[in-house]
Amino acid sequence: MSGPLQVTVLGATGSIGLSTLDVIARHPDRYQAFALTAFSRVAELHQLCCRHRPRYAVVGDTDKARELQRRLDSDSIKTRVLVGEGGLSEVAAHPEADVVMAAIVGAAGLRPTLAAVQASKRVLLANKEALVMSGALFMQALRDSEAVLLPIDSEHNAIFQCLPSNYSQGLSGIGVRRILLTASGGPFRQLPLDQLAAVTADQACAHPNWSMGRKISVDSASMMNKGLELIEACWLFDARPEQVEVVIHPQSVIHSMVDYVDGSVLAQLGNPDMRTPIAHALAWPERIDSGVSALDLLKTGRLDFEAPDQQRFPCLRIARQAAQEGGTAPAMLNAANEVAVDAFLSGRIRFTEIASIIEDVLALEASVPARCLADVLSADARARTAAARWLQDRDC
Ligand code: NAD
Ligand code: MG
């Protein structure tokens, strides 16, 4: 009998990484951590290695790798420490890894996630930025390999659960009218508009329903997260942008819906806890305990819906435009957003300037086809340079 599935967790110290390890630890007979990665948090990664005893650990630079290896050696833990992007791709594509959780935040996750796809792994995709940047190439790599891609983003996981297994034939072939992508509206859904410019990073990160990393929390507050998810949904489910409608649902109990031509609307519901989609994707097509409590509908009481306010959430409009343009536009959108969010989190710009930076960067050049990874990476670099220049000009 074969042993537990070997799981590489890219971004193990993050919010999704820790939730993944929580689910894995509930099922030691089924799953074993094979490799755990972090960028800089050596102390946290050390603790995770002590608990989960992976074969490999990966950190961002050689100094940190030396420090982690020294700590592990002195605890007589046999984990071998690797470094940088090469190390990430090695553990993502390692012949003995069965499952790869792609949970690095941002563009940094692209290469290792692609490496996992090319190596035909079961890839659990949380790192939406990777797909947004390189959707066409990513999906082609998936078709060229025997990889299985399972969405972790709660909305896409919900949509996946509401679609029949032959959905890759195309949405019209399976009678889908539209995808209803739900959004909580974040912490500023009802804030008076004239106060938006003065919100702090901590206020933006205080999400009403979900506990997440800081970058995605800001994206949720600006609704760029929903914009990125719209693009993600188009790639995953072969939808056109106009087939994906965003609906604000403040309770975050319905995680998304599929509207069929016969008038049926299928929804997936649950408590807002990422261990549900993680457990779903780990065990699919089976079901396992995730540690998430049963949904108490009586306590939930009501489910509300509203249309997103275009004035409050300009990022949603900008992302939809980038989705329609295609080519390199989504990669530039993502890169400009990463720079803008970073600048907001470090107190350099106001919340409302995030959308201005992205819109100005995208206006600089027309989208061109993204034929290869170099096209994507070069668009990403150009957008980062333009966003950095925007920030410099602002400070002058
Ligand atoms: P996080 O900030 O909590 O964790 C990010 C992880 O990525 C950390 O382990 C960090 O060490 C690693 N990392 C950061 N920069 C890196 C770099 N340059 N090189 C290598 N590793 C690096 O983020 P998170 O909230 O866990 O989100 C991770 C991904 O999952 C994001 O793409 C996010 O959009 C997506 N996602 C998260 C949630 C959620 O509930 N947190 C939900 C849906 C999707
Ligand atoms: Mg989501």
Instruction: Give the tens place of pLDDT for each residue, 212-258.
Output: 999 999 999 999 999 999 999 999 999 999 999 999 999 999 999 99
Percent of the chain predicted with pLDDT > 90: 96
- What distance in angstroms lies between residue 210's CA and the mean position of ligand 2's atoms? 10
Max Cα-Cα span within the chain? 66
Which neighbouring-strand residues pair with 257?
180, 267
d(CA 59, CA 378): 25
Q: Which ligand gives the minimal distance to the CA of 59?
A: 1
Ligand 1: which residue has its CA nearest to atom 22? 39
Per-residue pLDDT at 305: 98
Band (pLDDT 50/70/90 cuts) for residue 23 is very high
- What distance in angstroms lies between residue 316's CA and the mean position of ligand 2's atoms? 14
Ligand 1: which residue has its CA nearest to atom 5? 14
Per-residue pLDDT at 111: 97
To test ligand 1's pocket by mutation, which of 9, 16, 339, 345 has the most ligand atoms within 8 angstroms of CB? 16
Q: Which ligand gives the minimal distance to the CA of 15?
A: 1
- What distance in angstroms lies between residue 108's CA and the mean position of ligand 1's atoms? 10
Band (pLDDT 50/70/90 cuts) for residue 169 is confident
Integer CA distances (angstroms), 225 to 54, 105, 186, 386, in order: 32, 12, 10, 21
Whether 114 has a pLDDT exceeding 60, the answer reads yes
Per-residue pLDDT at 1: 53
- What distance in angstroms lies between residue 220's CA and the mean position of ligand 1's atoms? 14
> 382 versus 210: which is more confidently predicted?
382
- What distance in angstroms lies between residue 338's CA and the mean position of ligand 1's atoms? 12
Q: Which ligand gives the minimal distance to the CA of 152?
A: 1
Which residues have CB under 8 Å from 16's CB, separation 6+?
A: 101, 103, 126, 152, 213, 274, 278
* Ligand 1 surroundings by CB, under 6 angstroms: 11-17, 38-39, 60, 103-105, 108, 126-129, 153, 210, 212-213, 215-216, 274
Closest CA to 295 of 269, 316, 274: 269
Average pLDDT of the segment spanning 151-173: 95
Per-residue pLDDT at 17: 98
Ligand 1: which residue has its CA nearest to atom 43? 153
Average pLDDT of the segment spanning 106-122: 98
Per-residue pLDDT at 327: 97
Ligand 1: which residue has its CA nearest to atom 25? 213
Ligand 1: which residue has its CA nearest to atom 16? 39
Q: Would you give the end-to-end CA distance of the chain in angstroms?
A: 66
Per-residue pLDDT at 395: 86
Q: Which ligand gives the minimal distance to the CA of 338?
A: 1
SS3 call for 291: coil
Q: What is the pLDDT of residues 39-96, one digit of tens each?
A: 999 999 999 999 999 999 999 999 999 999 999 999 999 999 999 999 999 999 999 9
For helices 314-325 and 224-237, the axis angle rounded to 10 degrees is 30
- What distance in angstroms lies between residue 187's CA and the mean position of ligand 2's atoms? 15
Average pLDDT of the segment spanning 120-143: 98
- What distance in angstroms lies between residue 22's CA and the mean position of ligand 2's atoms? 19
Per-residue pLDDT at 168: 87
- What distance in angstroms lies between residue 2's CA and the mean position of ligand 1's atoms? 31
Strands 244-248 and 99-102: unpaired
**Ligand 1 atom, smallest distance to 106 CA:** 32
d(CA 4, CA 27): 9
Ligand 1: which residue has its CA nearest to atom 39? 212
Per-residue pLDDT at 235: 98
Average pLDDT, the chain: 97
Backbone angles phi, psi at 349, to 5 degrees: -135, 165
Which residues have CB under 8 Å from 110's CB, separation 6+?
A: 127, 129, 130, 133, 134, 376
